[in-house]
Chains A and B, each alone.
Chain A
Amino acid sequence: MQPSDVARIANLAKLAADASEIDQYASELTAILSMVEQMNALDTTAIEPLAHPLELTQRLRSDQITEPDQRKYFQQIAPMTEDGFYLVPRVIE
C-alpha cells in the first residue's frame, strides 16, 4: 500500500493524518493486508458468505413511537447547540 492510497483511505474515513503518520500507516497496513491475504490460499468459489453467526434475520417491530422526547437531556453532552439544534460550521455560504 502506497502513501497515496493511505491518504485516499484516510480521507474516505474522515481521519486527519500528517505526512509522517501516513508513511507509518502505509507500512503497517501493508503488513496487515499481507497477513490477511493468507485467505487466498483457499478456493472459496462455491461457499456461501456468512454474515451473522446464528444466521438469524433482523427482527422487526411495529412502526410506533416508543421513545419520549429527550432532546434537552441528550444535548447536555453535545459540544455546541443553539435553540435545540446541533451547531456545525457553515455548510452553504
Chain B
Amino acid sequence: MLDQPQGVSIGELAARLRRRECSSRELTADYLARIERHDSALNSFITVTPEAALAAADAADQRLARGEGGPLTGIPIAHKDIFCTQGVRTSCASRMLDNFIAPYDATVVSRLNQAGAVSLGKTNMDEFAMGSSNETSWYGPVKNPWDTTRVPGGSSGGSAAAVAAGLCLAATGTDTGGSIRQPAAFCGITGIKPTYGRCSRWGMIAFASSLDQAGVLARSAADAAHVLQAMAGFDPNDSTCADEPVPDYATNLNDSPRGLRIGVPREFLSPELDSRIAAVIEQAIELLCQLGAERHDISLPNSALSVPAYYVVAPAECSSNLARFDGVRFGHRCADPIDLDDLYQRSRGEGFGTEVKRRIMIGTYVLSAGYYDAYYLKAQKIRRLIKEDFQRAFAEVDIILGPTAPTTAFALGAKTADPVAMYLNDIFTISTNLAGLPGMSVPVAPVAGLPVGLQLIGNYFAEARLLNVAHQLQQASDWHLARPTEQKLRS
C-alpha cells in the first residue's frame, strides 16, 4: 500500500505494478478511499464508479501477472463528464443529461480502457463545458484544493481539482477556449490541449466543433505524455480527426533546450499584467534561457480580438450543436407538454442552465437573418488574422511562452454576475483554439500562495516539443511538485 500516493509519478507506479510490488486493486482502492475522504470538500466528481474501477483493476492485475500491459495498465484516472462512457451516466454537468446513460464509449475513453487505465469515475465541469470557473455545473461548483473559497477554473475544473488533490493520477479534459490550460494553471498542475484534430472528438459531447479538443490534466509533463500517447491518433468515426502519425512522446522528453527559440509575445507580458504574475513567468523563461534557450520578443498583434471573435464563433457553433437536445430521443423532457413547440421550449428552458442559454441565444442571434455578415463572417475573418499572426511568429521561433491566465484563482462568486468579466479571463488561451494550435500550462512559482501557470504554445502537431520543453523545465525546478496540504482539503 502506498503511504504517499501524491508524490509518485505514473512512470514509477507503472514500474512498481510491473514488478508486482503493489497491485492495481490496492492502488485503485487507495484512490477510491481518498475520493471518499476528500471529495465532499471539493465536489470534483459527479459520478464515482467503485465497482467498475475495481473490476478494471483486477483485469489490469491479470494482464500484469501475464507480463503484459503498458505504461498505463492499472493506473487510476478519471474522465471529464463530457466523454460518453457506456453504461455510466454522462451528464455534461447539465440537468438536460442528468438521466443520460451513454450507450457507447467515446474513442478517447475506449483507447484509455484498451491501454489498461482504470477509470475511477466522471469529473465535474462547467455545464456543456461553458464556463471558466466550474460554477455553471448543475451539480454545484468545484472548490480549488489550494483554497476552498476559490474556483478551480473551468471548464475542466473537476479534473484539475481531482488531479491536484491526488484523487486520481491524471484525468481527461477538453479545451475549447482554455478549458484544460486555465484550470491546470489555477490548480497548480500540468495540462495539455493538443492540436485541433489530434484526438478524436467521437463520443465527446460537442460544444463548438471547430474548436473542441480533448487533452490531459496530470501532475507532470512526463505523466501527461503517457496519457496523451494512449489517446491521440486517427479515428475514422470523427470526420475532423487528423490522419497524421503519432510520434512516441517519451522519446524526446530529455532533449536539451539548447538553441530553442522562445517567442514571448509583448501582448501577453504587457505592462497591464499583474506584476507578480509577470515576475514568476519571467523567472521560468529565464530558467529555460539558463538551460540554453534563446529569448525572442515577438508580437501577436490581433490577439486582443480573440475574445470578441471567440464569443461569436463558439456560441454560433454551440447554438447549432445543442439543437439536438429536444426532449424527444434522450435527456430531460418537461412534464405534460401541450404541443410539440411547448415540449421543445420547456424541455430546453428547464434542462439548460443560465450560461448555456445565454450562449445559445448569442449564437442564434449572430446566425440570424441580417446579422450573419456583421458578426459570424467578421469573426471568421478575424480568426484568419489570428492564425496568420501565429504563422508569422513560428517562422522565427520554435515555441511561444507567456502566462496562461491574467490572474490566479479568483473567489467563488466573484465573476458570476458579470459574464463579460468571466469571458476576459480567457484572454491568453482563446487565440490558440481559434488557430487550432497545441497549448500547454505548467506550474511556475506561486503568487500569494496560489498556483500560476506558464503557457506554452507550439506549432501544429508539435505536442512532442511542448512536452519536451515542459519536462525540461520540470527537471530543472520543483514548482510542479508543490501540493495542497490535506489540512487545506479538510478546511
Contacts and interface: CB of A to CB of B under 8 A. Distances in A.
B360 interface: yes
A89 B339 contact: yes
Given A16-B346, A35-B308, A89-B338, A50 B384 contact: yes
Contact residues of A: prevailing secondary structure: loop
Contact of B381 (A35, A47, A90): A47
A91 B375 CA distance: 35
B362 A80 contact: no
Interface residues of B, number: 73
Interface in B288-341: 302, 304-305, 307-309, 311-312, 319, 323, 326-331, 333, 337-341
Interface in A1-25: 1, 5-6, 9-17, 25
B344 interface: yes
A50 B349 contact: no
Given A47-B384, A53-B387, A35 B307 contact: yes
B232 interface: no
Contacts of B460: 54
A16 B357 CA distance: 10
B435 A53 contact: yes
Given A16-B345, A31-B420, A73 B358 contact: no
A50 B381 contact: yes
Given A39-B378, A47-B381, A52 B210 contact: yes
A36 to B, nearest CB: 5
A10 B239 CA distance: 31
Interface string A22-59: 00010011011101111111101001111111101011
A39 B344 contact: no
B434 A74 contact: no
B99 A14 contact: no
Contacts of A52: 210, 240, 436
A77 interface: yes
Given A14-B344, A17-B357, A59 B308 contact: no
B239 A13 contact: no
B174 interface: no
A79 interface: yes
Given A77-B101, A89-B337, A47 B385 contact: yes
A77 B437 CA distance: 37
B417 to A, nearest CB: 10
B328 to A, nearest CB: 5
Contacts of A39: 305, 308-309, 312, 378-379, 382
A12 to B, nearest CB: 5
B361 A54 contact: no
B360 A15 contact: yes
A70 interface: yes
Contact of A36 (B304, B312, B380, B384): B312
A6 B361 contact: yes
Given A36-B311, A59-B239, A53 B434 contact: yes
A78 B330 contact: yes
B352 interface: yes
B360 A13 contact: yes
B25 interface: no
Contacts of A35: 307-308, 311, 420, 423
Given A15-B361, A29-B362, A73-B103, A38 B340 contact: no
Given A42-B385, A53-B435, A78-B329, 17 more contacts: A1-B365, A14-B323, A14-B345, A16-B348, A16-B350, A29-B358, A32-B358, A36-B312, A39-B305, A39-B378, A50-B384, A51-B380, A52-B210, A52-B436, A53-B434, A53-B437, A89-B339
18 contacts: A1-B365, A6-B361, A13-B361, A13-B364, A15-B360, A25-B361, A37-B308, A39-B378, A50-B381, A52-B210, A53-B435, A58-B239, A77-B99, A79-B327, A88-B343, A89-B338, A90-B339, A91-B339
Among all A-B residue pairs, the 6 with the closest Cβ atoms: A53-B436, A16-B349, A49-B380, A79-B333, A50-B384, A44-B381
Interface of A: 1, 5-6, 9-17, 25, 28-29, 31-33, 35-42, 44, 47-54, 56, 58-59, 61, 70, 73-74, 76-80, 86, 88-91
Interface of B: 99-101, 103, 195-197, 210-211, 236, 239-240, 242, 302, 304-305, 307-309, 311-312, 319, 323, 326-331, 333, 337-346, 348-350, 352, 357-358, 360-362, 364-366, 368, 375, 377-385, 387, 418-420, 423, 434-437, 460
